[in-house]
Structure 1
Amino acid sequence: MSITTHSNETIRNVILHCQELSNSGNHTPTLENITSVVSKIRALQIDTLQMVKRSHFLALWSRIGTYDDNLLNELAYGNNRKFFEYWYHAACIIPVEEFAYRIPAMKKHFRKETKRWRNWPNEKNNAKVINETLNKIKLEGPMKASDFNDTKYTPGSWWNWKPSKRALEYLNDSGMTVVVDRINFQRVYGLTELNIPEKFRDTNYTDQDCLNHDLEMSLKATGICRPSQVGNYTHTKQGLSNPIVEEMIRSGRAVEITGLDKSKKEIGLLIHKDNLHLLELAQDGVLNADRTTFLSPFDNIFWAKGRDKEIFSFTQVLECYKPKNQRKWGYFCLPILYKGTLIGRFDPKLDRKTGTMIIRSMHLEPDVIPDEQMLFEVAKSMREFLSFHDANSITFENAGNGEFRNLLQKAL
């Protein structure tokens, strides 16, 4: 255990650096830089909600600023792909080399050993549907669910999917197909052997190999967290993650440190040995979290459960699934990151017909007092946010912090 107690600011600066959220936006939006950012943070979570741009586009924007969506699409779905879609923290875009470490999970799906696929593939006619779906892709090339015409199916409780759509998901989970494109967000599936390099398909990693890999990469990307939070990055259950984390500590790959939470209480934390030098840089003032940006509610920074409150004194809550009268902040609030601190959140909605960004509510955290520099930086980020969405105007509704809202309107 380190005898040094690291300040809360030091802890936050290291976390944000590991998450590519510490700089002033010096990343040029090139294919190479996008590849580098995603490789470092390991994943971009995909979600269906689109009050503004979808989560995976937002998470990348938070780190590199305004860029062309087609760059990310090219890297995920192009002929020379660097990423692919699969389960990670949730449904995510992840580096293509991660395919090798997903194979044991894919094999379990194929053998119908997972809860998700234990029953349906064995039900009447479903094996036939799976084979016919795969053969159709082999004969006709990449296909999406709407390319299939199921004349007879009974809507069920499993998302009401028709049989061929469920077969497509089974084939994808099992590693026989991959998503090769998205058309209006609908997945297009192609054969894995034609789209994933053989060097990532021809591997013999065991379940244990993959768990070890996932947790080590998780700790590197997470930056600093409690031991119990390491597995959160890949949704690994603690019963599986705890023994591996303990072994990482014994081997020296994970290092125990002491840091201060936001209330200045000492807490035990972990950092990967490869990131230890960042603590010294942060302590010396070389590593500063000077970026101001807005975050997706699904951003990787929030994957370590409870760390937002403990380290950043901020509770991230997605309220879109709550009844309107039970929402405290708004439907789809984006947290505001200002120079290492989460200072508030706002609820945006893009009117795509008029090009108007509607800010339905704007909230600051209780202890935040805005000054000219904060207003300048938040206004600058808001203008970049509008540019990223091709919005030509912005309107503010009256919910939330009226004083800050009015000041921000003037600053814009």
Structure 2
Amino acid sequence: MSRAPKPIPLTTTQARQIWLHAQRLDERAPFGDGAQAVSDAVAHLGYVQIDTINVIERCHHHILFSRIPSYRRADLRHAQSVDKSVFEYWTHALSYVPAGDFRFFLPAMCEHRREGHKWFASVKPADMRKVMRLVRAGPLTIRDIEDDVLTEKEHLWQSRKPSKRALQLAFYMGAVTVSERQGMLKTYELMTRHFGWDKLPRPASAKDITVYLLDRALRS
């Protein structure tokens, strides 16, 4: 076996410089401007977490603005809804992810299709059929569904509308995606129709996913 390479000692200053450069925080406008800059920033970072916390501005807008000085909310909306170069899915939290990385998230979607999702175990098949029928007719938000019988919340973040949980389960299964977002109001659309696909891409292998996660972490 070959001998492991000798570790290279780093000063605190060097480590800080490496981290700032990897996060692209050592340049004023490393990604340019406009919707393409948003796509490039998300692609470099691997994902940008979507957060409901809103003091000055929501977390994801802070992350992009700190790297794109001319950033406007419309740039992110354009990247998601027009260019479709980013999409929403779960990383360590709900995030914007490069559309080019979609296949690495497909195995998780397939697993949720087979086994369900522990957060949405209470979703009834009838509610799932209802929301899928509605979304096949066209994109919709939870506000478009007015005939739900409201239920008691099981925790503070949960919606009282059964259709909301059904839409979230369909989202984790990859049946629908968020095609547009106004604040925290999401518009759901069929995944294949949103991207113009006849069928979903081929899922990445477990080995490819491991390499992808390592490369993403090292890059950013």
TM-score normalised by the chain length of structure 1: 0.49
Percent identity (aligned): 24
Q: Which residue identity does 1:153 align to in structure 2?
A: L
Do 1:97 and 1:200's aligned partners in 2 also have CA atoms closer than 8 Å? no
Displacement of 1:100 in angstroms is 0.9
Query: Residue in 2 aligned with 1:134?
Result: 132
Displacement of 1:112 in angstroms is 2.7
Deviates more, 1:126-135 or 1:30-39: 30-39
Query: Residue in 1 aligned with 2:122?
Result: 120
Q: Which residue identity does 2:15 align to in structure 1?
A: I
Q: Which residue identity does 2:128 align to in structure 1?
A: I
1:27-46 to 2 correspondence within 5 Å? 27-46=31-50
Displacement of 1:132 in angstroms is 1.2
Displacement of 1:205 in angstroms is 2.0
Q: Structure 1's 197 and 8: CA in aligned 2 closer, same or farther, altered over 3 A?
A: farther
Query: Residue in 1 aligned with 2:108?
Result: 105
Deviates more, 1:65-74 or 1:87-96: 65-74
Pairing partner for 1:156 from 147, 153, 158: 153
1:254-403 to 2 correspondence within 5 Å? none
Query: Residue in 1 aligned with 2:219?
Result: 220
- Asked whether 1:49 is paired with 2:47, we answer no
Pairing partner for 2:71 from 61, 67, 72: 67
Do 1:99 and 1:201's aligned partners in 2 also have CA atoms closer than 8 Å? no
RMSD: 2.1
Q: Structure 1's 151 and 30: CA in aligned 2 closer, same or farther, altered over 3 A?
A: closer
1:396-411 to 2 correspondence within 5 Å? none
Displacement of 1:21 in angstroms is 0.7
Q: Which runs of 5+ in 1 are unaligned?
A: 222-412
Q: Structure 1's 218 and 4: CA in aligned 2 closer, same or farther, altered over 3 A?
A: closer
Instruction: Give, in whole Å, the separation in 2 of the partners of 1:15 and 1:45.
Output: 19
Query: Residue in 2 aligned with 1:144?
Result: 141
Structure with a larger share of its residues in strand:
1
Q: Structure 1's 200 and 6: CA in aligned 2 closer, same or farther, altered over 3 A?
A: farther
Deviations 1:263-304 (A, max 9, x none): xxxxxxxxxxxxxxxxxxxxxxxxxxxxxxxxxxxxxxxxxx
Q: Structure 1's 136 and 199: CA in aligned 2 closer, same or farther, altered over 3 A?
A: closer
Do 1:150 and 1:162's aligned partners in 2 also have CA atoms closer than 8 Å? no
Structure with the greater alpha carbon radius of gyration: 1
Instruction: Give, in whole Å, the separation in 1 of the partners of 2:30 and 2:166.
Output: 44
Displacement of 1:104 in angstroms is 0.7
Displacement of 1:188 in angstroms is 0.5
1:149-188 to 2 correspondence within 5 Å? 149-158=146-155, 159-188=158-187
Q: Structure 1's 5 and 162: CA in aligned 2 closer, same or farther, altered over 3 A?
A: same
Q: Which residue identity does 1:97 align to in structure 2?
A: G
Displacement of 1:27 in angstroms is 4.6
Q: Structure 1's 26 and 47: CA in aligned 2 closer, same or farther, altered over 3 A?
A: closer
Displacement of 1:197 in angstroms is 5.2
> Aligned residue pairs: how many?
214
Q: Which residue identity does 2:142 align to in structure 1?
A: A
Secondary structure of 2:33 counterpart: coil
Instruction: Give, in whole Å, the separation in 2 of the partners of 1:3 and 1:183.
Output: 48
Instruction: Give, in whole Å, the separation in 1 of the partners of 2:55 and 2:168.
Output: 26
Query: Residue in 2 aligned with 1:209?
Result: 208
Do 1:46 and 1:92's aligned partners in 2 also have CA atoms closer than 8 Å? yes
Do 1:100 and 1:200's aligned partners in 2 also have CA atoms closer than 8 Å? no
Pairing partner for 2:26 from 7, 13, 22: 22
TM-score normalised by the chain length of structure 2: 0.88
Q: Which runs of 5+ in 2 are unaligned?
A: none
Q: Which residue identity does 2:202 align to in structure 1?
A: T
Q: Which residue identity does 1:20 align to in structure 2?
A: R
Q: Which residue identity does 1:132 align to in structure 2?
A: K
- Asked whether 1:90 is paired with 2:93, we answer yes
Query: Residue in 1 aligned with 2:16?
Result: 12
Instruction: Give, in whole Å, the separation in 1 of the partners of 2:125 and 2:59.
Output: 34
Q: Structure 1's 169 and 77: CA in aligned 2 closer, same or farther, altered over 3 A?
A: same
Displacement of 1:110 in angstroms is 1.5
Query: Residue in 2 aligned with 1:336?
Result: none
Instruction: Give, in whole Å, the separation in 2 of the partners of 1:23 and 1:174.
Output: 39
